[in-house]
Structure 1
Amino acid sequence: MPTPQEETPDTQENPEPTSSLELGVIGNGSVAALIDGRGRIVWCCLPRFDGDASFCALLSPQCEGGDWSIELEDIDRAEQHYMPNTAVLVTRLYDHHGSGVEIVDYMPRFRTRGRFYHPVLIARRVRPIGGSPRIRVRLRPLCKYGSETPQSTSGSNHIRFLLDGVVQRLTSDVSSTMIERGLPFFLEKPAHFVFGPDETLTESPADFIHHTLENTLTYWREWVRNLSVPYEWQEPIIRAAITLKLCQYEATGAIVAALTTSIPESANSGRNWDYRYCWLRDAAFTVRALNRLGATRSMEEYIRYVFNLVAADGDNEIGPVFGITFEHELPETQVASLAGYRGMGPVRVGNDAWRQRQNDVYGSVVLASSQIFFDRRLEHPGDELTFRRLECMGELALRVAETPDAGLWEYRGRAAVHTYSAAMCWAACDRLAHIATELGLDERARYWHDEAVALHARIEARAWNEKLGTFVDAYDGEHLDASLLLLADIGFVNAMDPRFIATVDAIGVALGRGDYLFRYIAPDDFGAPETSFNICTFWYIEALAATGRRERARMMFEHMLAQRNPLGLLSEDIAPANGEHWGNFPQTYSMVGLIQAAMRLSRRWEDAL
């Protein structure tokens, strides 16, 4: 596992075919792909994040294939790393005789002609790095979530695949016959593969990859250079930030919760969900984390997405999750043609959370948008018109603040007036008061301030359990959940308030398992949870730091860094017994938690130098 300050490539000795989440991610804001330790593309949806899984080997398709591999004969070991400060992945394979190949994988992203170039395209370069390596190229996309093999046609240097909803063309300087038949050959010089739109390349594959790779490397290095990173843990923070950036669909500004569907939260649990959509809450957390790093463009794009949603809904209540092109309904179905991650189905497409009421979403939208009214760096800062749009969210927050909902954990079988949901509705009113003050709208500032004060008092009266001596998860409740750790973060209570400290301590006892934290332990629709929820562990770390236990917080944080996969990524959940990753991947929540905790705990540059 990587150490917190690691800069050198990670090595995987004798990697096995994908049976764990030791995966890397490449992407460009239009599409993304997951690649295992041997350079095999095992997941990629085309032509966008929530499209058909043309590469679906990760979820065990019934048809042969669903992957794109560069196989080295008589393989002995593999190494894998990202080019520093980029989303360009390098895999090196070595055989038992000392021969080897290097695979460079990326999706082009750079600015040209006044706009971003980020096509639905995967580029791969394979070159020999010693001896006489003999390889086999297997490109085997599938259709309709692994149920069909696509029709294809070929020429001397290209192969066209008629996929579900898109036609992709592979252009290469390797013979099409060698690729179609999966024939082995000696790799004597670099080979280039461009899998993209069904268009003729105007240059050779080698020239295309040469200039798009250089431009893509430059883009990512410049993007990272503009991040405001703390003194400590820079490499993990940078990797997390790049990963979050890869989860934003640039065409609309939507941010997906993860790039996959149906990786279970624990073995054979049935907790298999499709996360390839935009949860307003998750996206707001992502925006706040990137804002703290100075990457405000993602916030501006996301706010554009949200305002388009709000404009469509008018004064109606809004759901918690939407499609990346504003779809309001995401009907949930099961896919029989995929057996699931490690055979652990079901595989679901769509997510019925869109049917739920989750009242914290209004606060999430307002909190994600607040910075545009105060950040003088922005080209288009918030104005009175923007404020009026946000006021709709505040009015809805007041309407629903103390009504039952499914909560942020999306309970499917019960509803309650959840403390976190109510507190986020308060946060919407509180921030609107601050924004109105900034804009000089005194009457609106008084209105929102008075509403916030009154709501705050009602929540305190119902969410504090005098007998237990803690805040509780729901009005007049008796249980704890990890969302209560955020009450200080959103400003509902002061972090040094004895009530908050007591709540943090009680949560550590009730929900802690060693250095991990569960989101809750009470049985839900699927029984008792079996794995810790990574962002909750990071919330607990932040709460420890905020309440004066920094050394304990730092120890837990270092432990969580050591749990990242060999490329520095995290899934949604970890099994405390063995540290195994579970849940959809890469999980934006988890990468957000890493960034937030690191920035709270890091020593300042001034104190360190």
Structure 2
Amino acid sequence: MPEYPPIANHGLIGDLQSAALISADGAVDWFCAPRFDSPSIFASLLDQERGGHFTIAPAHDDVTVRQLYLPDTAVLITRFLTPEGVGEVVDFMPVSDRPDVPTDRHRLVRALRVVRGTLTFDVTCRPRFDYGRAPHTLALDDAAATFHGPGLDVHLRSSVPLEADGQDVRATVTLRHGQTAGIVLETSAPGATAPEPLTEEAVQAALEETRVFWHGWMRRCRYRGRWQSMVNRSAITLKLLIYAPSGAPIAAATMGLPEQIGGERNWDYRYTWIRDASFSVRVLLDLGYIEEADAFRRWLGGRGHAARPSGGEPMQIMYRVDGDPHLSEEVLPHLSGYRDSYPVRAGNGAAGQLQLDIYGEFAYAMTHSQDLAELAGYEGWKGFAALLDWLCDNWDRPDEGIWETRGGRKDFTYSRMMCWVALDRGIRLANEYARPADLPRWTAQRDAILVQVMERGWNPGLKAFVQHYDSEVLDASLLLMPLVGFISPKAPSWLSTLDAMDRELVTDSLVYRYNPEASPDGLRGSEGTFSLCSFLYVEALARAGRLDQARFAMDKMLTYANHVGLFAEEIGRTGEQLGNFPQAFTHLALITAAMALDEELDRAADRT
């Protein structure tokens, strides 16, 4: 098997429409353009032979590598330390003057410099279009190359000579202390004007503009708490995963990275989940990013009152970043998968599942609107009210649940709870903004849900709320029960549920979402702990007043971050990161846990 870098051995760069992963080996091994969900140009992370890569690395065997971000930016620096010298590759993607306008032009800048001694770099650029399925042709002229692929051209401009390697390109660059070189990859529509020749001044100007952009953006951040550096990095990561033209955040930058090495739990996360993204509204507002929160609410509102297919549900659980509901799932049989984790899937078949909790998350996001009339207007409210009327007739249906299991529909407690949230927030909005609504019906159904959850979602033997009715399975999604106001964070029934989770789902601050052996989910194999759930656990502990336990769990959880502060979806048995990377929901939960713990610690200090 080829040597694959650990999932965690990557940094993320992007320009708010597309993104790339850079390994600590100096390889761009994941890059899709012109959008996050476009077919890949480099995907050696999913198949080192067929996926394609763009690598800049020392021509030395004895190399120590260090990777870091330029503070409070999305500029990634990979440092190579050798006996002959120390060199750096500075990677970034400049943000255009109009990131809110979709474009085919995206630049990935790679600046080389040597800060001590002498170092020789080997450069290899091997694009593989359409997930490695489509051939390309090369046009090369000294320091400029163009790869012609289906529907997209990729231009390579260099300050050093390039040479052909079949239909690919390579180069060798030797630099002494103080010397620099640059290589810029730029995508464009087929036949578009080729970029200007590269100059050192242009590379430095682009670097400075990118630094200024990110520093300016970070100055708007309100967080000044105990975990400043981790919250800042999480905020930048969230910003990198928001598609600026629509304001919609994707779940993760990648597809196909496994939840279990060699297993089949390999999904495409480059889409916008109503659930994940809705919780981002509160976080963005709390951090001070009102424009980003409003942009997503406008996108979300468009999904809420879009035309409903005859006989279908009002909303899907996920969409493409432009709101397109078509996410048909296909297997890419020519890709072997990360460390033979097969199959590799593009698209996501879970888009058609019934997950009733999304209506609660949708309403939760809209509740945080500072001006509902401006964002939704009367027509928007009518669509929202119609959605809640539909929910009154449909909340008591089995569904697939938050975790998108493929083991059949059940009466999931979390789904019922979030239907309660939808109606509760709808009632609040109707009263606050004096909107027309069938309040007696909404109130009756809201109260019926609460009674049902309290009576059927509670297992007296376990003294805990359980995953679905008439089961003994615990589920970490219920950590949100007190956080959305369904139950007091210090209620005896909730504290006993927290104790039960601590016994069964928690290991060294890490939290499993549920036990798949106790609750078959229709998939083979197992999975790691869910980092999202681990941070929800921290927040639940903090709100329950268990501050010493919460702080220790938070600090331990942060030791599982990678070397540049990023988290994938899961943590494996030996601490390795698993699943798609980086995951937005995990970083959202990190921020909310940090803010909640800061708040509770400050309150405790005020009482002493």
TM-score over 0.5 (shorter chain) = yes
Tell me which moved more, 250-259 or 559-568.
Answer: 250-259
Whole-Å separation in 1 of the counterparts to 2:503 and 2:275: 27
Asked if structure 2 preserves the Cα contact closer than 8 Å seen for 1:110 and 1:118, the reply is no
**1:601 aligned onto 2:605:** no
Does residue 1:421 correspond to 2:409, yes or no?
A: no
Distance 2:430 2:361 in 1: 18
Q: Does structure 1 retain, via aligned residues, the 8 Å contact 2:162–2:171?
A: no
Q: How far apart in 1 are the matches of 2:149 and 2:602?
A: 51
1:185 paired to 2:173: yes
Please list the CA deviations of residues 491-540 of structure 1 after superposition, one character each: whole Å capped at 9, or x if unmatched.
Answer: 11111111111111111112122321111102322256341111111111
| 1:12 matched residue in structure 2 | none
Q: Which residue of 2 aligns with 1:73?
A: 59
The residue aligned with 2:506 is: 512
Report what 1:543 is aligned to: 540
Q: Is the partner of 2:522 in helix, strand or coil?
A: coil
Contact 1:407 1:418 in 2 (8 A): yes
Code of the residue aligned with 1:82 in structure 2: it is Y
Query: Is residue 154 of structure 1 aligned with residue 140 of structure 2?
Result: yes
- The root-mean-square deviation of aligned C-alpha atoms, in Å, is 2.6
Contact 1:30/1:119, CA 8 A, preserved across alignment: no
Quick one: which of 38, 61, 64 aligns to 1:51? 38
1:144-171 deviations in Å (ceiling 9; x for gaps): 3124542111223321112343112112
Q: Counterparts of 1:25-174 in structure 2 under 5 Å?
A: 25-63=12-50, 66-74=52-60, 75-97=62-84, 99-109=85-95, 111=97, 119-174=105-160
Q: Is the 8 A contact 1:37 1:80 kept in 2?
A: yes
Q: 1:383 Cα deviation (Å)?
A: 4.5
Residues 72 and 286 (structure 1 numbering): CA distance in 2 closer, same or farther, change over 3 Å? same
In 2 relative to 1, CA 464–438 (structure 1 residues): closer, same or farther, beyond 3 Å? same
Q: Select 2:574's aligned residue among 574, 578, 596.
A: 578
Q: CA deviation at 1:20?
A: 3.7
Instruction: Give the SS at the match of 1:363.
Output: helix
Q: Does 1:388 align with 2:382?
A: yes
Alignment pair present for 1:265 and 2:273: no
Say which SS state the counterpart of residue 586 (structure 1) adopts: coil
From the superposition, tell whether residues 469 and 48 of structure 1 become closer, same or farther in structure 2 (CA, over 3 Å): same
Q: 1:366 aligns with which of 363, 367, 374?
A: 363
Amino acid at match of 1:162: H
Q: Contact (CA 8 Å) 1:61, 1:338: kept in 2 or not?
A: no
Structure 1 residue 560 and structure 2 residue 557: aligned? yes
2: distance between equivalents of 1:392 and 1:554? 43
Q: CA deviation at 1:459?
A: 3.0
Separation in 1, partners of 2:86, 2:11:
20
Query: What SS does structure 2 have at the residue aligned with 1:337?
Result: coil
Name which of structure 1's ranges 301-310 and 228-237 shifts more when overlaid on structure 2. 301-310
Map 1:294-373 to 2 at 5 A.
294-314=288-308, 316-317=312-313, 318-373=315-370
CA offsets, 1:269-289, max 9 Å, x none? 211111111111111123332
Structure 2 contact 143–159 (Cα < 8 Å) conserved:
yes
Structure 2: how far apart are the matches of 1:442 and 1:238?
A: 41
Deviation at 1:358, TM superposition (A): 0.5
Displacement of 1:352: 0.8
Q: Distance in 1 between matches of 2:410 and 2:271?
A: 25
1:7-58 residue CA offsets vs partner (Å, 9 max, x unmatched): xxxxxxxxx8623421100011110000011321110112211111111111
SS in 2 for 1:222: helix
* Contact 2:420–2:450, Cα closer than 8 Å, also in 1: yes
Aligned to 2:277: 283
Amino acid at match of 1:361: I
* Paired residues of 1:145 and 1:337 also in contact (CA < 8 A): no
Structure 1 residue 386, shift from structure 2 partner: 3.6
Structure 1 residue 477: Cα displacement: 3.1
Check the 8 A contact 2:160/2:173 in 1, yes or no. Answer: no
Q: Offset at 1:338? A: 1.5
Flag the 1:396–1:193 CA change in 2: closer, same or farther, 3 A. Answer: farther
In the alignment, the residues of structure 1 paired with residue 90 and residue 222 of structure 2 have an alpha-carbon distance, to the nearest angstrom, of: 28
SS at match of 2:361: helix
How far does the alpha carbon of each residue in 1:287-342 deviate from its partner, in whole angstroms, 9 at most, with x for none?
33222212222222222222333343348512212222223232222112211112
Q: Which runs of 5+ in 1 are unaligned?
A: 1-15
Partner AA of 1:542 in structure 2: E
1:68, distance to aligned residue in structure 2 (A)? 0.9
How much does 1:60 deviate? 1.6
The question of whether the paired residues in 1 share the 8 Å contact of 2:54 and 2:123 is answered with yes
Alignment correspondent of 1:222: 216
Distance in 2 (CA, whole Å) between partners of 1:277 and 1:103 is 30
* Shift in alpha-carbon separation, 1:209–1:115, aligned structure 2, 3 A: farther
Q: Output one character per residue of 1:447-481: Cα deviation in whole Å (capped at 9) or x when no partner.
A: 54444233322332322233432222223333221
2: distance between equivalents of 1:133 and 1:232?
Answer: 40
Distance 1:480 1:106, change over 3 A: same
In the comparison of the two structures, how many residue pairs are matched? 587
1:4 equivalent in structure 2: none
TM-superposed deviation, 1:104: 1.0
CA distance in 2, matches of 1:471, 1:130: 60
Q: What is the TM-score of this pair, normalised by structure 1?
A: 0.90
The amino acid of 2:568's aligned partner reads S
Q: Give the whole-Å Cα distance in 2 for the aligned partners of 1:586 and 1:423.
A: 28
Classify the secondary structure of the residue corresponding to 1:57: coil
Q: Which moved more, 1:518-527 or 1:115-124?
A: 115-124
Contact 2:161 2:171 in 1 (8 A): no
Q: Decide whether aligned partners of structure 1 residues 517 and 175 sit closer, same or farther in structure 2, where only a CA change above 3 A counts.
A: same
Equivalent position amino acid for 1:144 in 2: D
Is the partner of 1:133 in helix, strand or coil?
A: strand
| Equivalence map 1:487-506=2 (5 Å) | 487-506=481-500
- Indicate the residue corresponding to 1:208 in structure 2: 202
Letter in 1 for 2:44: A
Distance in structure 2 (CA, Å) of the matches to 1:185 and 1:506: 59
Q: Is the 8 A contact 2:157 2:197 kept in 1?
A: no
Task: Supply the AA of the counterpart residue of 1:326.
Answer: G
